[in-house]
Amino acid sequence: MQRIVIPGEKISDTSVRMHNTLIHNGKTYSTIVGLYNDEKSTLIPLEGLWNPAYGDTVVGVIEEDRLNTYNVNLNSPYKGLLISKFVQEQLNKGDVVEASVKELDKTQTVVLMRPRKLSGGKIFSITPSKVPRVLGKGNNMLKELSTSTKSSIIVGHNGVVWIKGGNMQLAMDAILRIQEEAHTSGLTDRIKEMLSKGN
């Protein structure tokens, strides 16, 4: 049985080690708002911030060009930073870029590497905790979305999505539906049906 739990709510009378929980006096408590499955002992975040990790793909917007660095808005509590000497092309305020996380420094700034300017298209945000569902196993869901809509799609681990070309509206609607129904079963089939019908 699945049930919604809130931070501080007891989810087990025994010690169960899993992400987003803490153990106190041999009992397990949730530290997030999430969906807990008693039978499988799984806790799926319903909301969640992005925790930067090395190699994460991000999509961001150039906010400022300062001397030897670019400040990048990552739509998160963390600021992004690109060092000019690693940037191959001229970037300006408002440009959308795809990059990878190099490190999270002591000031909680995400240092980025391998930037690529994304021209045209549009960006929108989803909850970062839903990104793995949008990508799917082995990026299968993302491939399905791209193939069916003929759109170029980049999904950042920070929850920012860039789409260009093809049926952008359908791609966007499908991604937002995945976000809404990420915790439900049979979602892949429903999304495939939605894409095949084109609505």
- Can you tell me the distance from the alpha carbon of 114 to that of 72, in angstroms, rounded to the nearest whole number? 14
Q: Which fold has domain 122-197?
A: Ribosomal Protein S8; Chain: A, domain 1 (3.30.1370)
User: Would you state the pLDDT for residue 199?
Assistant: 60
Beta strands in the chain (DSSP E): 2-5, 10-12, 21-24, 27-30, 34-37, 42-45, 57-66, 69-73, 79-83, 96-104, 109-118, 122-125, 152-155, 160-164
Domain range 2-45, CATH class: mainly beta
pTM for the whole thing?
A: 0.76
User: Would you state the pLDDT for residue 152?
Assistant: 98
Under DSSP, the state recorded for 195 is H
Joined together, the tokens standing for residue 65 give: 């060009």
128 close to 157: Cβ distance less than 8 angstroms: yes
Q: Where are the domains of the chain?
A: 2-45, 57-118, 122-197
Q: Do 2-45 and 57-118 have matching folds?
A: yes
Q: pLDDT under 50 in the chain at which residues? A: none
Which residues, 6 or more positions from 185, have their beta carbon under 8 angstroms from its beta carbon?
none
pLDDT in tens, 94-129: 999 999 999 998 888 999 999 999 999 999 999 898
Q: What is the CATH number of domain 57-118?
A: 2.40.50.140
pLDDT in tens, 22-37: 999 999 999 887 888 8
